[in-house]
Structure 1
Amino acid sequence: MGAEFDLNLIRTFVLLYETRSVTAAADVLGVTQPTVSYGLGKLRRKLGDELFVRGPGGLLPSSEAERLYPPLRTAIEQLDVTIGAAKDFDASGPISFALGLSDLGEVNVLPLVIAELEARAPAATLQVHAFDVDTAVDQLTRGQVDAIVASPLLDSTRVNRVPLFTEGYIGMVSNDHPRLRKGTPTDAELRDERHIVVDGTTGHTAPRQALRTHGLEGRIAVRVTRFATLPYVVQDSELVAIVPQRIGRALSRTHPVRTFELPWPIEPAEVAAYTRRTPGRSPAQHWFLAVIRAALQDLP
């Protein structure tokens, strides 16, 4: 790509690749859709390649677009850093943010983010969206959410990932459980119990994997879709649940359940914040990511 290429054309290409949408790219760039379409036409003529074709879910990049994206994205990111794309953001006025969270995140992460946001920008408002691993990348790149905090790995070059904290696991049973009354149960004792697990794609697959690893998959009696359901079922049954450590301890203060250390280790989950990559990230979104990191940086 020669020196005669307009920098705005490169930025347009990068955003089209990331958003898969002329409309979304235009919104990020602050221009009209015809302007983006015109820029795409210029790129196609100069490169002699379609670059993008319409397909299910939006624009699909050609093999040439796939080849060009990594170096051009890197070049734009470096340029944005050099010229100060993350310049100071004035948070004193009304501003709205959208945050993607799982049901666990709404219990565990949201209160901390709200407190930090209120301290820094009292006039700000926040809209929470349900996290869906299948649509998360598109939600970010198309500007439907400003950030997502989640444990599943969003393995895409279209988004930026910032690790926040790790989350271990503990067991949870009813306070009135007739057998598991105190201390850490043995492996044999857990094999005699029936278990409840959370299925779905919102994260924390480690409990299910641990049961499978230790030959307890056949002891799963109930499968639910949300972690928020667990305490209500566990408190009135003899079922055993494996839950993230922080949420389990919080639930033991609000529900008649107790938690315990597990007899075998489970690999902790790493919770991360996801945002657009730098070329499409606005100063407000840079600022919001800093709020999220500050809110969660002191979690043990």
Structure 2
Amino acid sequence: MDLNLVRVFVSVFETRSLTLSSQRLHVTQSAVSQSLRRLRETLDDPLFERAGGEMRPTALAEAIADDFREALAKIDGVVESTHGFSASTSDRRFRIALSELGEIGWLPEIFERVHKEAPRVEIEVVALAPAQVSEWLSRGIVDLAISPAELSGAFERRVVKREGYSVVMSTINRWAALPLTTETYAALPHAAVTSDSGAPLIDVARERAGITVTPIVTVQHFAALPRLITESTELVATIPEAIARGWATTWPLAVHPVPFEMAPIELRLYRRSATHHTGAIDWLFATVARALEGTPAEFSTIHAEQEPDARSPGW
């Protein structure tokens, strides 16, 4: 059997997409379809059927997938051990899943590190979807993901940063100059950000403390919070401490520690478990880890109404 047919099969199995497979393999979608047709004839099985916008594997495809992936991994391992991955000449495109904060605070340093060693490599950022990221990593849809969540699956991971959370409120809030108790925190109206990937961990810490919070306003982006909070006499928000301290230098905000026990959130770097181009992913994982561990993040672009930049040393 033509080894390229096996590679096409594994790619379609992982991505569930002819389009993504063609991009990953650097061939046309027509070439992927033709390879899949030849493989179907060889194995006398449809292998994949269209369902809900994706290529869903048949029972036979599910049965042979692990063996095909293992075979490819061994072959690629032998080739890469002989030739290695050349970052300086590679023109691969890598996909990294990042939250809004990740894209703002970490992407510039990641790009600088990657581009320095691999000037022809392309980086595509995918919006982090907590409910889907495990599947994306399993199927190789993304190469890396940066998330505070403890993902299921046997993914290689590394804790690259730790960050606490703080409570911010306007300086005109009557509680601004007073100690923030658990009771007061629970009683105050809250604002939340849908793109905050650490929000589920905050909810867990609140539940352990017996606190129930239902936000009365939910915004899509952190940039909407400063003006919203500072112009309210009651509204509060629980946000990463680094951003809170930075905003307090340019906005009339009071910053309080969270009034309940909450360990710092650990930010994890995950790499995909798929078998395609393992040497390249090894290099990317190590390079991104060094970028995240070695420098502070920069959140100066999170401001509103052209307020002065707020620089912060956190994540």
TM-score by length of 2: 0.72
Distance 2:33 2:94 in 1: 28
Task: Verify the 8 A CA contact 1:161 1:272 in the aligned structure 2.
Answer: no
Alignment counterpart, residue 193 of structure 1, candidates 173, 188, 196: 188
Task: Verify the 8 A CA contact 1:197 1:207 in the aligned structure 2.
Answer: no
Distance 1:26 1:215 in 2: 51
Amino acid paired to 1:271: L
Q: Deviations for 1:9-40, whole angstroms, at most 9, x for unmatched residues?
A: 32221111012122332333334444433432
Instruction: Determine what percentage of the aligned residue pairs are the same residue.
Output: 28
Instruction: Go from structure 1 to structure 2 and tell me whether the alpha carbon gap of 1:281 and 1:256 turns closer, same or farther (over 3 Å shift).
Output: farther
Task: Verify the 8 A CA contact 1:175 1:181 in the aligned structure 2.
Answer: no
Alignment counterpart, residue 17 of structure 1, candidates 13, 22, 40: 13
Q: Deviations for 1:138-178, whole angstroms, at most 9, x for unmatched residues?
A: 699687x6644333466578xx5533435443222236142
Correspondence 1:280 to 2:276: yes
Alignment counterpart, residue 70 of structure 2, candidates 45, 69, 74: 74
Correspondence 1:217 to 2:226: no
Distance 1:96 1:66 in 2: 28
Alignment counterpart, residue 149 of structure 1, candidates 146, 157, 166: 146
Distance 2:80 2:90 in 1: 22
Q: What SS is found at the alignment partner of 1:279?
A: coil
Alignment counterpart, residue 107 of structure 2, candidates 85, 106, 110: 110
Structure 1: any 5+ residue segments left out of the alignment?
none
Task: Verify the 8 A CA contact 1:104 1:247 in the aligned structure 2.
Answer: no
* Partner in structure 2 of residue 230 of structure 1: 225
Distance 1:110 1:123 in 2: 17
Structure 2: any 5+ residue segments left out of the alignment?
297-313
After alignment, is 171-180 or 273-282 more displaced? 273-282
Instruction: Go from structure 1 to structure 2 and tell me whether the alpha carbon gap of 1:115 and 1:181 turns closer, same or farther (over 3 Å shift).
Output: farther
Q: What SS is found at the alignment partner of 1:163?
A: strand
Correspondence 1:37 to 2:33: yes
Correspondence 1:240 to 2:264: no
* Partner in structure 2 of residue 260 of structure 1: 256
RMSD over aligned CA atoms reads 3.9
Correspondence 1:27 to 2:36: no
Distance 1:225 1:236 in 2: 18
Amino acid paired to 2:164: Y
Count of aligned pairs? 292
Instruction: Go from structure 1 to structure 2 and tell me whether the alpha carbon gap of 1:73 and 1:265 turns closer, same or farther (over 3 Å shift).
Output: farther
Shift of 1:60: 0.6
